[in-house]
Amino acid sequence: MNSRSMAFKIITISATISCLGLVASVAQDRNSNRRAANEADAEEAPAALVIKRRAVVLEDPRTYQIPMRLEPVRSIAVIAPVDGIVQSVHVKPGDLLPSQGDVVRMDDTRTELLTRKAKAEVTARQIERKIAGAKSGAADEVALADANLEAAKAAYELAELDQNQMIVRGAFAGTILQVHVVPGQFVRAGEAVAELADLRSLVAEIPAGRAQYKAGDKISVTVENEAVSAVVESISAPPPRFESLRPLIDSLSMAKIQIQNSEGNYHPGQAVYVDLIPTEPVAVVPALAISNSDDGQRKVQVVREYVVRDIKISPLAQINSERIYVSGEFSPNDEVIVNASMELTDGTKLRPWVQEFDAPEETEKSKKQSLPRKTKSRGL
């Protein structure tokens, strides 16, 4: 190996060692900078927040919707007492009918003739009785005349009764809801010709807890869009149509309520709503998650897209000491906050925390391992 070749190799090795020293120096500087940056971030970053939360499983409130409506306190079907042809109709829907007021008049031509005949028969029997009484010693004839007269009078009363039945009257003062016949129509005995109702009071059947109300209590319900005062008439077993509400109401029962309607502000068929039937999504939440809002309403807090939200709720039935049914304006991906390491307010923004680790400092051994391996040079 000549001196020129040896000099070239020495220069090459020196350059390589210099480059390695530069790389090691840069790596060490980077680690120092990263530690300094992490320490600065740690000083500026807020304290870690720990939130225990639970996913919400929502139930569609339509599952629990039960139609409820106002009904008259009493109503009847006005019935035709005999077969006949409708001669005239004296009412129309919405009319106020006095007690025993005329609703429909049937064709009474035949009954009128029979009544006149019965009346004439009474007159004839009265004359016979007078003649028999004028005879002396005719006791049997007088008795027979008296019997015939009584029979004639009874026949006349029956004829008048039949004639009176040709006029169909209302049983009580009320409002005509419907009319089912028109003049000239043939109707059978027992067929409804109209619907009559007393609208001075209206009633409704609503779900309730058995211990929630008692007869005579005053409560508030919603009739369409208006809050209305009502009085509880009675508490009884729930009808089958209320069974879907049993999970939401403790000791499910039915309350019959009455609303005064002397001014005619309300009408049969208007929808009735109560707070016990939810109109917002239903969920089961931990009892510990429920608290009071500033206005006194019950609320829960949820995490929604990494933002804390206050959700006002209506508590329903309690399943046990740890879980309770509630309804509120939940969203499908909400997570109910059970507890947190610090107090949270509505609108607080959250971000997931990921722990970062510093790169380990290079040791002498790692430095040596990072150096390129020396290879034996072969002579040129």
Predicted local distance difference test score (pLDDT) of residue 1? 46
CA-to-CA separations, 135 to 110, 121, 140, in angstroms, rounded: 39, 22, 11
Residue 147 has pLDDT above 80, yes or no: yes
Name the pLDDT band for 135 (thresholds 50, 70, 90). Answer: confident
Predicted local distance difference test score (pLDDT) of residue 371? 54
Burial degree of 146 (CB within 10 A; 0-12, 13-18, 19+): middle
Name the pLDDT band for 41 (thresholds 50, 70, 90). Answer: low
Tell me the pLDDT tens digit for each residue of 320-335.
Answer: 889 999 999 999 999 9
Burial degree of 378 (CB within 10 A; 0-12, 13-18, 19+): exposed
Tokens of 291: 């608290």
Name the pLDDT band for 26 (thresholds 50, 70, 90). Answer: very low
Tell me the pLDDT tens digit for each residue of 205-232.
Answer: 999 988 889 999 999 999 998 999 999 9
Residue 64 has pLDDT above 50, yes or no: yes
Residue 123 has pLDDT above 90, yes or no: yes
Burial degree of 226 (CB within 10 A; 0-12, 13-18, 19+): exposed
Predicted local distance difference test score (pLDDT) of residue 13? 37
Distance of CA 227 to the CA centre of its chain: 15
Rounded-to-integer distance, Cα 128 and Cα 142, Å: 9
Residue 347 has pLDDT above 50, yes or no: yes
Task: Express as a percent the part of the chain with pLDDT over 90.
Answer: 60
Residue 261 has pLDDT above 60, yes or no: yes
Mean pLDDT of the chain: 84
Please state which of the ranges 38-52, 226-240, 366-380 shows the lowest mean pLDDT: 366-380
Residue 357 has pLDDT above 90, yes or no: no
Predicted local distance difference test score (pLDDT) of residue 354? 64
Predicted local distance difference test score (pLDDT) of residue 182? 96
Helix, coil or strand: residue 94:
coil
